[in-house]
């Protein structure tokens, strides 16, 4: 396996009774990358994470970590760590105690190197000033950082993150995802991040694997899969899409101009920095566009729309 690949799945499948949850998935995760598994609920992304962690056994296929097969190994013999949705912090332990927990259960006595590593990780997640606090004294974002620090201190080859932002309110999620991406860059650990949130995956990832029905739909950079989706599912799942005469055009690519295709505005939604315009073409097709709030036409007005051919998506 190439040295720049830390984790590889080779035709991995998982069956539960009569249901195939994961179907012949092959993936290469680059070392040091922020890699996301993106898809709707039930698409198999969490099952893949659990098979990598050792909590589920593949029905078929191979899992390789640093050039060694691991699908037959118990979880404690795999150098991966998992951060769960609930964070699973120990309420009776301090921040430092939670971070030290994994090191305490290694097969050697705790030494100064371990203590130094804990302090270093607390600095990396910017919690050194709160080392003596307990989880109930922390914000949601701080509790997440404790869970990350507890996993990172063990120096895993891959850190598995199962929807870790889902418990946070929307405004905090935006703040924490920026912190999470910055942390990954600072520590250099490979992150395998599971999410159903397109905005999370697009804003944080180096690469994204889009899943649907247990299978891979497309793997690529956020820019690639957004601008050049290979399937209609990917096109529709990653943001809004207009299908005009069988051609896909993103709402932000459509402009209101003095000339073009005639449309009638049937609705306008104010979304802060822009408004979303819903229109009906003469063909009867409903499309959406975006415009500055000051440039939004009222419902009932006739407008004209155009777009660049470079922005068309042909599937």
Phi and psi at 129, nearest 5°, equal: -75, -10
> What is the SS3 assignment for 96?
helix
Residue 232: CB partners within 8 Å, gap ≥ 6? 248, 315
Distance between CA atoms of residues 295 and 299, nearest Å: 13
- CB-CB neighbours of 248 under 10 Å: 18
Residue whose C-alpha is closest to residue 20's, from 52, 37, 40, 44: 44
- Structural domains of the chain, with CATH: 5-233 (3.40.50.300), 243-311 (2.40.50.140)
Spell out the per-residue pLDDT of the chain, length 315, in tens: 346 999 999 999 999 988 999 999 999 999 999 999 999 999 999 999 999 999 999 999 999 999 999 999 999 899 999 888 777 888 999 999 999 887 776 544 455 577 788 888 888 888 889 999 998 998 888 888 888 888 888 889 999 999 888 777 777 788 788 888 988 998 889 999 999 999 999 999 999 999 999 999 999 999 999 999 999 999 999 988 999 988 999 999 999 999 999 999 999 999 988 999 999 999 999 999 999 998 899 999 999 999 999 999 998
Contacts of 187 (CB under 8 A, 6+ apart): 124, 152
The crossing angle, in degrees rounded to 10, of helices 112-124 and 95-104 is 130
* Strand ranges for the chain from DSSP E: 5-16, 19-30, 34-38, 60-65, 68-69, 80-83, 158-162, 190-195, 207-212, 215-220, 242-244, 247-249, 255-270, 275-281, 286-291, 302-306
Residue 157 DSSP code: S
* Phi, psi values for residue 49, rounded to 5°: -60, -45
Tokens of 208: 């994204």
State how far Cα 88 lies from the chain centre.
20
pLDDT of residue 101: 83
Comparing C-alpha atoms, which of 262, 250, 152, 244 is closest to residue 198?
Answer: 250
Residue 299 three-state SS: coil
Look up residue 160 and give its two tokens.
């598995």
Q: Which residue has the tokens 């050792």?
A: 54
Nearest-angstrom CA–CA distance, 193 and 171: 20
Q: Are 282 and 262 in contact (CB under 8 A)?
A: yes
Calpha distance 110→114 (Å, rounded): 6
**Quick one: pLDDT at residue 239?**
87
65, β-bridge pairs: 7, 68
Non-local (6+) Cβ contacts of 180 within 8 A are 144, 148, 164, 165, 204
pTM: 0.88
Question: Tell me, what's the pLDDT at 112?
Answer: 57
In the numeric block, the tokens 């609930």 are attached to 86
């Amino acid at each position: 396996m190439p040295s720049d690949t830390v984790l590889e799945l080779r035709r991995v499948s998982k069956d539960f009774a009569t249901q195939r949850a994961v179907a012949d998935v092959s993936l290469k995760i680059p070392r040091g990358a922020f890699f996301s598994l993106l898809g709707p609920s039930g698409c198999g992304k969490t099952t893949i994470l659990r098979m990598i962690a050792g909590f589920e056994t593949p029905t078929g296929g191979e899992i390789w970590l640093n050039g060694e097969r691991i699908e037959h190994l118990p979880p404690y013999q795999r150098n991966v760590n998992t951060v769960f949705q609930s964070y699973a912090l120990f309420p009776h332990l301090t921040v430092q105690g939670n971070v030290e927990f994994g090191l305490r259960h290694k097969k050697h006595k705790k030494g100064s190197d371990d203590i130094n590593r804990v302090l270093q990780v607390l600095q990396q997640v910017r919690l050194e000033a709160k080392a003596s606090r307990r989880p109930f004294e922390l914000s949601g974002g701080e509790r997440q950082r404790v869970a990350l620090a507890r996993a990172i201190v063990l120096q895993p080859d891959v850190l598995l993150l199962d929807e870790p932002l889902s418990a946070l309110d929307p405004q905090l999620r935006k703040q924490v995802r920026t912190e999470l991406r910055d942390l990954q860059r600072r520590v250099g650990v490979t992150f395998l991040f599971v999410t159903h949130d397109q905005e999370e995956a697009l804003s944080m990832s180096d690469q994204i694997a889009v899943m649907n029905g247990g299978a891979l739909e497309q793997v690529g950079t956020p820019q690639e899969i957004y601008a050049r989706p290979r399937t209609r599912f990917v096109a529709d799942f990653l943001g809004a899409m207009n299908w005009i005469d069988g051609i896909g055009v993103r709402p932000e690519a459509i402009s209101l101009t003095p000339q073009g295709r005639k449309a009638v505005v049937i609705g306008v939604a104010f979304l802060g920095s822009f408004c979303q315009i819903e229109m009906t073409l003469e063909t009867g097709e409903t499309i959406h566009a975006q415009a500055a709030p000051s440039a939004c036409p009222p419902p009932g007005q006739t407008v004209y729309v155009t777009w660049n051919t470079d922005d068309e998506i042909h599937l």
